[in-house]
Amino acid sequence: MLKRYNINYQIVLLSFVLACLPFFFPNDFYYEIAILAILNAIICIGLNLLMGYAGQVSLGHGAFAGLGAYISVVLATNYEFSPMSSILISIIFMACFAFVISKPILKLKGHYLAMGTLGIGIIINIILNSEDEITGGADGMSVAEFSIFGYVFEESIQWYILCASLLVVIIWAFNNLIDSPFGRLLRSIHDSEKAAGSVGINVPHYKSYVFVISVIIATVAGSFYAFFSGYISPEEASFTHSIELVVMVVFGGLGRVYGAVFGAVILTVLPQLLTALEEYETLVFGGIIIFVMIFMPKGIASIWDYFMDKKDKEKSLVKN
């Protein structure tokens, strides 16, 4: 049965944790990391919908987030649109863009799909790097200040509240979406596209639908990050960023809402902790990814399953 506007204890707990966190932040740097982690988590939730539920890999989402952010920023900074309307225009443009490319690209499968999305991502990155009259080239550009209906965002705490609320709303929407007929439909596509097609589901249509949703989410989060940091460079749209996002989703656990969130938070915070290791940072980071993929190929969310299974087993033993 479809439960409408399902709010469960997880959402309440998450809101509580998010609300309490700022009391433990000694300075602005912590806010910066927290906001980056939240925005990455938001992109990862969208990407997880595409990868974990609809079963389509994308190695280009960093570039989509970056391009969306650039469009918002250029409109707001160079053409003096209000930030909200520039983000809206960017969303509309990116949605059309995603829809157009989704048709040929989502016909591809496996490695070919991965390479196709990667190719588009790299082309976007090269364009952003080369058109320096509009984008400022490799040096990046500074960004106009952000405001909603005249209310200016200056303090980190304002940004934190905005991003944290967005995260809660998106998780709530996501939970409802995957429990809805639409969510079941997506999982049927994930399990077998042919079987889904044979029972009358328009598979290509729904695949591009999900692709567009995930690109829109990436656009919003990317734009917010650019406005928050007051600066944007093509690094945002780089191959490395796209890879990071996919790694976050898989690291956390494909097809799990909180998996993507944990993956994003851990892999955003971890490099900050690893900077203490200085030159060993990259080596250790790579090592951790290898370790998790070898011993927990279903992501760190599978630790949770492990303990739940154990509990279940104990329960059943008691019953017998």
Taking CB under 8 A as the criterion, the residue among 104, 150, 181, 200 binding another protein is: 104
Helix (H) or strand (E) holding 44: helix 28-48
What does the angle CA 173 – CA 179 – CA 184 come to, to the nearest 5 degrees?
120
The stretch near another protein (CB under 8 A) out of 15-23, 63-71, 193-201, 245-253 is: 245-253
Residue whose structure tokens are 């106009």: 144
Examine residue 99 and tell whether it contacts another protein (CB under 8 A): no
CB of 248 to another protein, least distance (A): 10
User: Looking at beta carbons only, is 84 or 288 nearer to another protein?
Assistant: 288
User: Looking at beta carbons only, is 266 or 288 nearer to another protein?
Assistant: 288
CB of 160 to another protein, least distance (A): 30
Examine residue 150 and tell whether it contacts another protein (CB under 8 A): no
Beta bridge partners of 147: 152
> Which class for 177: exposed (0-12), middle (13-18), buried (19 or more C-beta within 10 A)?
middle
CB of 310 to another protein, least distance (A): 18
Asked if 206 and 177 count as a contact pair (C-beta separation under 8 A), the reply is: no
Q: Cα(119)–Cα(113) distance, rounded to whole angstroms? A: 10
Examine residue 229 and tell whether it contacts another protein (CB under 8 A): no
| Residues of span 117-136 touching another protein by CB under 8 A | 118-120, 122-123, 126-127, 129-130
Q: Cα(11)–Cα(261) distance, rounded to whole angstroms? A: 13
300 φ, ψ to 5°?
-70, -15
Examine residue 295 and tell whether it contacts another protein (CB under 8 A): yes
Question: How distant is the alpha carbon of residue 97 from its chain centre?
Answer: 18
User: Looking at beta carbons only, is 82 or 129 nearer to another protein?
Assistant: 129
Examine residue 297 and tell whether it contacts another protein (CB under 8 A): yes
Residues 6+ apart with CB under 8 A from 274: 280, 281, 284, 285
Taking CB under 8 A as the criterion, the residue among 33, 95, 114, 161 binding another protein is: 114
Examine residue 290 and tell whether it contacts another protein (CB under 8 A): yes
How many residues touch another protein (CB under 8 A)? 44
| Residues of span 53-72 touching another protein by CB under 8 A | 57
Q: Cα(303)–Cα(299) distance, rounded to whole angstroms? A: 8
From residue 17 to residue 56, what is the string marking binding to another protein with x (rule CB under 8 A)?
----------------------------------x-----
Q: What is each CA distance from 3 to 45, 168, 180, in whole angstroms?
A: 21, 18, 8
Asked if 31 and 240 count as a contact pair (C-beta separation under 8 A), the reply is: no
Asked if 262 and 300 count as a contact pair (C-beta separation under 8 A), the reply is: yes
Amino acid at 223: S
Examine residue 293 and tell whether it contacts another protein (CB under 8 A): yes
CB of 257 to another protein, least distance (A): 18
Examine residue 247 and tell whether it contacts another protein (CB under 8 A): yes
Q: Which positions touch another protein (CB under 8 A)?
A: 51, 57, 104-105, 108, 110-112, 114-116, 118-120, 122-123, 126-127, 129-130, 239, 243, 246-247, 250-251, 254, 279-290, 293-295, 297-298
